[in-house]
Amino acid sequence: MRARKPRWYSLQTMKIRQSWNKHNLFNMLRKSLPSYRFGKTVFQQKWMAKSMTRAYHGANIKESDWNRQFSRRLFSAVEMPPEYLASFDSSEQAAGRGSGRKGDSINAVNFSRYESERLRAKKLPKPRPVHPRQGALSKTGEMLAEPVKDMTPYMQMAYAPLERRLDVAIFRAMFASSTLQAKQFCTHGAVKVNGKTMRYGAYLLNPGDMFQVDVESVLYATGRPKTPSHALYLAGKDWQSLEAARQQKALAAGSASEEANAAAEAEAEAEEAVEEADPEASVVEGEGEEASELTEEERAAKHKKQLKALVRSARDLVSDGEGLNPRKKRQLRSFMSEAKRALSSGGRSAEAAALDPDSVIEHLSALLKDFKLDGSRVEAVQEQKEEKQHVGAKDKALSEEIKELVSSSEVRDAVEGLTKQEQMALASLLRKDAENPIDESKPYWTPWQPRRWIAPFAFIPRYLEVNQNICAAVYLRHPVARRGMAEVPTPFPYETNQLAFNWYLRRR
């Protein structure tokens, strides 16, 4: 295998590659058949078609290796459904011929599932183009594809032998973002074929072979990569505000006059603050005297009331738990741990004396300050008399699940003040966090998110059976051509593949 050439995704040459790269997607959108191709000789047209198609199909394979692997025998499938074979013996094909008999012709196509899907797809409304240029190109492509819509596109199967390669199959199964990355996984021993490690990406799969890729490698290949800004985001820093402040500082540094005015205003405000410091200090001293007059029981009641207020703030969090980002989930876990520490130390005099309750309340309030979203407050649950009520099976299962997710008995008692709907939302939130936790050591987003620009490439061919849960797939059979479709994915039209196929037919 050759190494990747420089300018692999060049925006000037516009070579389409087997990759999910955003520059490759941009080239695919801009790529069009040259209008001057009909002024070229047949040899030149075939060479241009070969150059375009080889940039996509096996660009990392030497031309001599592909010439040995090329085959003029193209696989196809004729629609012969078992329902048709069991109902007719083909004599109906000649019934009424020459006698003027008319009616609906009965053939195997009427029983074919693939044909019904093809006809249904033709009736679907066409998607709206993402760009006007794409709309113009699609109209031209539809005009060129009109004669071959109802025929078997054999020429689209020119590069069918390459679909047997292990690295190409890994890319088609969406276990890697490119064939080069799939080859890298094979070299590093992250791929197994039929239970044995296979380090050769050029291995040709046989029908029935199962290949499996390491789950961590698939998460890395298909997950959204981290950026420096995302690292700050996970660390709990508002990097957007930091960037905005940095830009404002740069703009302010450009004008010396504005800086002088800002400095003068800052000095004036500082002088006013010094003048107003004495009245504010007296007010603070008065509040301190009032606080010192409170007894220990009153202070405990006050702190308990503040803790209940924090629980109500947690209700606001649970009411809109679907929109939580990783940073807020981290703050939720931090709040749970801090609340556990505060509640567990509140009953012991030594630790209560060591910890300042006011500072604990302020710290917990700071942890939850970002969770107040739309201002829609949840009404406080009125205290009810202690009455034993019958607990249903669902409520019992919910309480047991919360007990498993929340290990602290003190925090569990505090959660009991929530309603059943809020407890279910909290349990769902904690369950999702336990299944897909945040791990700052991973090079991809945690919780995991797919790569950007993946939607146009999110398809799996018919000849593969993929299980995404265990990152394994089965190569069912070789790709075949059917009426109106070919199972070899290619971004090029029928005309281009026909010229490329004729190029490789020479001396054969």
Claim to verify: residue 438 and residue 493 sit in the same structural domain: no
DSSP state, 417?
Answer: T
SS3 56: helix
Claim to verify: residue 499 and residue 431 sit in the same structural domain: no
The pLDDT value recorded for residue 306 is 66
What average pLDDT does the segment 443-459 reach? 88
124 vs 102: CA distance, rounded Å: 30
* DSSP string for 188-248: TT-EEETTEE---TTPBP-TTEEEEE-HHHHHHHHBPBP-HHHHHHHTT--HHHHHHHHHH
Residue whose C-alpha is closest to residue 505's, from 60, 196, 67, 141: 67
Q: For residue 322, tell me if it sits in a domain.
A: yes
Confidence at 472, pLDDT banded by 50, 70, 90: very high
Confidence at 437, pLDDT banded by 50, 70, 90: confident
CB 382 within 8 A of CB 353: no
Q: For residue 103, tell me if it sits in a domain.
A: no
Claim to verify: residue 207 and residue 338 sit in the same structural domain: no
81 vs 111: CA distance, rounded Å: 6
What confidence tens digit (pLDDT) does each residue in 82-96 have? 888 888 887 777 766
Q: For residue 165, tell me if it sits in a domain.
A: yes
Size (the chain), residues:
508
Q: Which of 449, 468, 494 is the last residue of a domain?
A: 449
How many H helices and E strands in the chain? 21, 7
Half-sphere exposure (Cβ direction) of 491: Cα atoms closer than 13 Å: 23
Q: For residue 436, tell me if it sits in a domain.
A: yes
Claim to verify: residue 425 and residue 333 sit in the same structural domain: yes
Q: What is the mean pLDDT of the chain?
A: 75
Q: For residue 207, tell me if it sits in a domain.
A: yes
Q: How many domains does the chain have?
A: 2
What average pLDDT does the segment 427-435 reach? 72
Claim to verify: residue 356 and residue 472 sit in the same structural domain: no
- Amino acid sitting at position 390: H
Q: For residue 35, tell me if it sits in a domain.
A: yes
Q: For residue 91, tell me if it sits in a domain.
A: no
Which CATH number belongs to the domain containing residue 207 in this structure?
3.10.290.10
Confidence at 243, pLDDT banded by 50, 70, 90: confident
- 320: pLDDT strictly greater than 90: no
More confident residue, 86 or 390: 86
Claim to verify: residue 71 and residue 185 sit in the same structural domain: yes
Claim to verify: residue 31 and residue 157 sit in the same structural domain: yes
Across 155-164, 298-307, 358-367, least confident range: 358-367
Q: Which residues pair with 225 in a beta bridge?
A: 444
Confidence at 483, pLDDT banded by 50, 70, 90: confident
Domain encompassing residue 361: 297-381+395-449
Claim to verify: residue 35 and residue 165 sit in the same structural domain: yes
Tokens for 136, please give them.
């113009």
